[in-house]
Structure 1
Amino acid sequence: MNRRSFVKNNVLTATALGMGTGLWARSSGTTAAADKPFNLDYAPHDGMFANSAGKDFLDQIKYMYERGFRSIEDNGMTSRTPEMQTKIGEALAKLGMHMGVFVLPKGGNGANTLATKKQEHIDIFLDGCRKSVETAKRCGGKLTTVVPGDFDRRLPLDIQTANVVEALRKGAAILEPHGIVMVLEPLSDTPDLFLRTSAQTYAICKAVNSPSCKILYDIYHMQKNEGNLITNMGLAWEEIGYVQIGDNPGRKEPTTGEINYKNVFKWLHEKGYKGILGMEHGISQPGKAGEDRLIAAYRESDAFM
């Protein structure tokens, strides 16, 4: 699955739902209190507020700031021109906002796999690390998403794990001098993917043994793969470097599925989490009304104090 296409398609093709709820009613106001910063650092992405702020990502970033958000994430940052990367970095710096994750070039899903120890795949990964250093300098980012690829079912699992660890150590050696962290993301998209659980990813991070190799805990994927979210986050806590959001089922904003995000956010706050929470999900309603409801859902879920 192409991660950028997923998010874009979910935003553009969201189906209409009824709006006669208390949540919607609370979203229609524009008081100063509604625009205060959130208790946690939620990060929208490009296109999430295109109906409210226009298609220009820089205008969207300003709108995000006005609505209380203090970070963004942009999976496709490395595919943008260097000039645009610089403009985004400058806009964030001017507003006092932060850059969340961008996906390591050629580092997504089954595009290449590190489990086989094939040199061509390792070279692709390491080249992506080098390119990420340059991208990070321009946009001000310090986090890049890495997915080690698919299983190689011809090899014993422990051998595959050792191959992945060895490759990641080489990547960390490139990133660490620049203070850049690759966050490894276990996914639920397909059972062919090598990384599937937080415990597996925790063990790999411990083996890599670098501050530049941590866990990206995507709550949507982990609800599907392992559940017991708060307990499992607690077990892997010292290796979690980034969190992403999406309700299940549907991968839309909080309050649209089964996850009690208010409790999850409260737990993260009580743990002292100061990092970014990427809003890697679609929107349940179309148009500006859907974007207003999105903000209202985050206001409701963020009201845990």
Structure 2
Amino acid sequence: MIEKNHTAVTSFILLGFSYNTNVLVILFIIFLLIYVFTLLGNISILLAISCNNDLHKPMYFFLGNLAVLDIIYSTVIAPKMLSTFVRKDKSITHIACIVQMFLFAVLISSESILLSIMAYDRYLAICNALRYQAIMTTRFCIQLVTGAYLCGLLQSLFHTCFTFQLSFCRSEINYFFCDIPPLLKLSCSDTTINEIVLFTFCGFNEGGSALVVLVSYLFIVNSIISIRSDKGRSKAASTCISHFFVFTLYYGSLFFIYLKHSSSQSLEIDRVASIVYTVAIPLLNPIIYSLRNKDVKHSFQKLLGCEFVTL
């Protein structure tokens, strides 16, 4: 009866960040630069990998897919977020909100699984080097990545269907994009089932992926300890530390947002945490996973050199 007294919501308003105009302009410039560098970094990775046959290996195949995911999902979020900084009209249509949430859920879920695949790949390459080529065939790599995308698609379909079957009594989303937790706060329906679905899927997907990454790196660290060369040990340790740093930021922020009861959420803290995996991580991934890689840097230098010669 209560739900019938509410007018159907046909659009939402993304309140974004509630600061004065001067601060919003500064934030617009900062996030615009981050978005541009994110695109440049990930596109550079794709060019370097695609133009160098020496990089047509499983590790770089996964890195290329990671770059594609980062380009798309940062693009799903950033343009609309940037518009909320400078435009008075902060509305987003009901359909656009559904599409944004659906695409974001597909991409973020797929990326979580892809990161675990990359960790498993590094585990095989370091700890089981003799069988690496026999296991990581082209067909198997394609199957792994396809499986990641399909799992992300399935999870997103469940979240989208369960979220948008709710009745919404308010239209103001105190957030900078359409995401599940802030949308649940607008509902005048019982969201218990939605919270269970969210916790179950995210716990299984993100929790399982994080566990695979953690176990893989524990084995990798154990192998690093046995390296006799101090230089080799230092190089391997540096790589693992940087990877683990990104891993902690990414999964830590995801767990903070999605694996807790909605009533315990602080919007200001949630916004900061969500910026980590929507803005910071797509920028950090090409730096940590690729641009610090000697082969990728060499390939990119060759690519630039060829272009300069052509010019």
Shorter-chain TM band: under 0.3
**More strand by proportion, 1 or 2?**
1
- What's the TM-score, normalizing by structure 1? 0.27
Q: Which has the larger radius of gyration?
A: 2
Greater relative contact order (CA < 8 Å, ≥ 6 in sequence): 2
Higher helix share: 2
Q: TM-score, normalised by structure 2?
A: 0.27
